[in-house]
Amino acid sequence: MTERMKVLHLSDLHLTDDGADMFGANPATRLQQAIQVIVREHADAAFCLLTGDLADRGGVAAYAWLQQQLQRLPMPCYLLPGNHDDRANLRAVFTQTPVDAHGYLQQRVSTPLGSFLLLDTLQYGVAHGEYGADRLEWLQRTLATLDADEPLWLVMHHPPLQVGIPSMDQYALRNAEPLACVLEPYRPRIRHLLVGHVHRAIGGSWRGWPFSCVRSPNHQVALDLHTRGTDVPGSHEAPGFGVILADGRDVVVHHQDFLVTGAPFWI
């Protein structure tokens, strides 16, 4: 059986081009703090996934700074765009990022845990996610090329389900039905779905497939299950990122806090 491996999941960095604060916190400083913890505690991770909203306004300067910072990590990083990102600017800096026949930044990352399929849900001009026929084409073709027993992991910015926070649910992936239909024949092989966008630690399942969402290193979405409208209630809950432990059988998702105050103690 596959040995237990560690995978890191960061999302929603929202780096600003000029290094400015956002909602009273500094995205650049927060990322540096997260990286310090990764280097100290999680240098043994096999790879790191970054699920979008990397640059708050999709600017080249933010991507260039991010690339510089990621060079401090000992493991490879794989990136996806979110609704705040710009594909061309992202690729101008991260030149190795694969692009599919329709220009979407989708890729398969082959690992001892199986194939991680990074799906591009960014739709320019709107905050919600889309995954239409042109993107599905890549997914269908990729799935068809894989061995029949290859485990599958799905990685995307927008969650394909309603999480119950109305202000964010309006910006989730729209029309997830075609995606679910394409995935259905592969049901037993789909191990986990990793998403961002909601800036919260959330776990559950989508149509029976387990998923997890991670906090932003910078600012969080409040657990407000009532407020409707275009504005999203924010919160200064602790920032964090995901630490996944998985082998050929089990998957565990930890949420790493990195601004814990007070000295550690023995229980």
Q: List the one residue out of 147, 177, 155, 71 whose CA is nearest residue 105.
A: 155
Smallest separation (angstroms) from Fe ion to the CB of 147: 35
Q: Both tokens of residue 227?
A: 């407020």
Q: With respect to Fe ion, which residue has the nearer C-beta, 56 or 189?
A: 56
- Measured CA angle at 23 (ends 221, 244), to 5 deg: 45
By the rule CB under 5 A, 12 interacts with Fe ion: yes
Distance CA 142, CA 114 (A): 13
Q: Which residue type does 161 have?
A: L
What's the CA gap between 235 and 248, in Å, rounded? 37
Residues 27, 14: contact at Cβ < 8 Å? yes
Smallest distance, Å, CB 53 to Fe ion?
A: 3
Shortest distance, position 194 Cβ to Fe ion, whole Å: 15
Identity of the residue, 50 or 154, whose beta carbon is nearer to Fe ion in the bound complex:
50
Question: C-beta of 207: minimal distance to Fe ion in Å?
Answer: 24
Taking the complex as a whole, how short is the minimal distance between the CB of residue 81 and Fe ion, in angstroms? 11
> Which of residues 53 and 120 has its CB atom nearest to Fe ion in the complex?
53
To Fe ion, the closest distance from the beta carbon of 223 in angstroms equals 16
* 95 CB neighbour count, 10 Å cutoff: 8
Q: Fill in the per-residue mask, 32 to 71: x = in contact with Fe ion (CB under 5 A), - = not in contact.
A: ---------------------x------------------
- Per CB under 5 A, the segment of 6-14, 37-45, 97-105, 169-177 that binds Fe ion is 6-14
Question: Closer CB to Fe ion, residue 27 or residue 114?
Answer: 27
Task: Select from 4-12, 93-101, 123-131, 146-154 the region that touches Fe ion (CB under 5 A).
Answer: 4-12
Q: Please check whether residue 181 is in contact with residue 143, taking contact to mean a CB–CB distance below 8 angstroms.
A: no
- Taking contact as CB under 5 A, which single stretch among the options 5-13, 41-49, 99-107, 134-142 is the one that binds Fe ion? 5-13
Count interface residues toward Fe ion (CB under 5 A): 2
Nearest approach, Cβ of residue 104 and Fe ion (Å):
19
Measured from the CB atom, is 12 or 86 closer to Fe ion?
12
Question: Considering beta carbons, is residue 122 or 253 the nearer one to Fe ion?
Answer: 122
Contacts for 225-233: CB closer than 8 Å, 24+ residues apart: 225/164, 225/165, 225/166, 226/166, 227/166, 227/167, 228/166, 228/167, 229/167, 230/167, 230/170, 231/167, 232/167, 232/168, 233/167
Max alpha carbon distance in the chain (Å)? 55
Q: Partners of 47 in the beta sheet?
A: 7
- Distance, in Å, from the CA atom of 211 to the CA atom of 18, rounded to the nearest integer, reads 34
Whichever of 12 and 120 has its CB closer to Fe ion, that residue is: 12
Which residues are near Fe ion by CB under 5 A?
12, 53
